[in-house]
Chains A and B, each alone.
Chain A
Amino acid sequence: MANHVSRGGGLVHRRTLLKGAAALGAAGALPAIIARRGNAAEVPTLVNSIRSLSNPYHATWNKGGEAFAKSVGAEYVTLVTEGNSEKGIADIKAILAKTGGNCVVNVDPNDSPDARPIVEACQAAGASVLTQWNKPEDLHPWDHDPNYVAHISFSGVPYGKQMAETLIKAMGGKGGIVALGGIESNVPAIERKAGLMQALEANPDVKLLDFQVANWSATEGLEKTNAWLTQYGDEIGGIWAANDDMALAAVEALRADGRAGKVPVTGVDGIQLAIEAILAGEMAGTVSWDPYWQGGMGLAIGYQARTGGFDPAKEPKEHREFYGTGVAVTSENAQSFYDANIKAEPQLDWKDIWGRVSGQIQYG
Chain B
Amino acid sequence: MSAASPLDAPDAPPKRTRRLRLAAWAPVIVLMVLCAIIAVVNPNFLTFGNFVRITQTAAIPLVLGIGATFIILMGSIDLSVEGILTCSAVVLSMLVLNGANSNDLGILGALIVLAIGGLIGLVNGLIHVRLRIPSFMTTLGTWFIGVGVANALLGGMAIRITDPVIRGLAVERFLGFPWGVWIAALALIVAVVIQNHTRFGRYLFAIGGGEDLAVLSGIPVARVRITAFALAGVFYALGGILVAAQLGLGNAQIGTGRLFTTVTAVVVGGTSLMGGEGGVLRTLVGVLIVVVLSNGMVLMGVPSSVQIGVQGLMIIAAVASSIDRSKLRVVK
Where the two chains meet, the residues of A that have a C-beta atom closer than 8 Å to any C-beta of B are 1-3, 10, 13-14, 17, 28, 52-56, 58-59, 181, 184, 210-213, 217-220, 222-224, 226-231, 233, 248-249, 252, 255-256, 271-273, 276
Contact = CB atoms under 8 A, between A and B. Distances in A.
B239 to A, nearest CB: 12
A279 B221 CA distance: 56
B160 A230 contact: no
Interface in B245-304: 246-249, 251-254, 256-258, 294-295, 298-299, 301, 304
B305 A256 contact: no
Nearest to A224: B298
Given A55-B156, A59-B155, A252-B246, A217 B295 contact: no
Contact of B53 (A28, A54, A227, A271): A227
B47 A56 contact: no
Given A218-B254, A219-B257, A59 B157 contact: yes
Given A54-B156, A252-B246, A276-B160, 15 more contacts: A1-B215, A53-B155, A54-B147, A55-B156, A56-B251, A213-B305, A217-B256, A217-B257, A219-B243, A219-B247, A226-B57, A227-B295, A230-B44, A249-B247, A273-B249
Interface in B26-70: 42, 44-45, 47, 49-50, 53, 56-57
Interface of B: 42, 44-45, 47, 49-50, 53, 56-57, 99, 130-132, 147-148, 150-151, 154-158, 160, 170-171, 178, 215, 221-222, 243, 246-249, 251-254, 256-258, 294-295, 298-299, 301, 304-305
Given A53-B151, A210-B298, A218-B247, A230 B157 contact: no
B170 A184 contact: no
A284 to B, nearest CB: 18
Contacts of A13: 130-131
A10 B56 contact: no
Report which residue of A13, A211, A231 has the largest number of chain B beta carbons within 10 angstroms of its beta carbon.
A231
A219 B256 contact: yes
Contacts of B130: 10, 13
A181 B247 contact: no
B299 A184 contact: no
B304 A213 contact: yes
A230 B304 contact: no
B160 A273 contact: yes
A10 B157 CA distance: 41
Main secondary structure of the interface of A (DSSP, over half): helix
Contacts of B253: 54-55
A255 B257 contact: no
A224 B295 CA distance: 7
B226 to A, nearest CB: 13
Contacts, number: 112
Contact of B247 (A227, A230, A252): A252
B256 A14 contact: no
Contact of B156 (A58, A213, A218, A220): A58
A212 B221 contact: no
Contact of A10 (B47, B132, B156, B305): B132
A140 B187 CA distance: 58
Nearest to B147: A54
A51 to B, nearest CB: 10
13 contacts: A10-B130, A13-B131, A14-B131, A53-B156, A54-B151, A54-B252, A56-B156, A56-B157, A217-B257, A222-B247, A223-B295, A231-B298, A256-B178
B194 to A, nearest CB: 24
A212 B300 CA distance: 12
A295 B240 CA distance: 32
Contacts of B155: 53, 59
Nearest to B297: A227
A353 B222 CA distance: 64
Contacts of B252: 54-55
A273 B132 contact: no
Best-surrounded residue of A220, A222, A227, A272 (most CB of chain B within 10 A): A227
B157 A272 contact: yes
B42 to A, nearest CB: 7
B53 A181 contact: no
B158 A228 contact: no
Nearest to A213: B304
A223 B221 CA distance: 40
A210 B301 contact: yes
Contact of B42 (A53, A59, A211, A231): A231
Contact of B56 (A55, A224, A256): A256
A255 B180 CA distance: 14
A14 B133 CA distance: 10
A239 to B, nearest CB: 14
Contacts of A223: 57, 294-295
A228 B45 CA distance: 11
A108 to B, nearest CB: 14
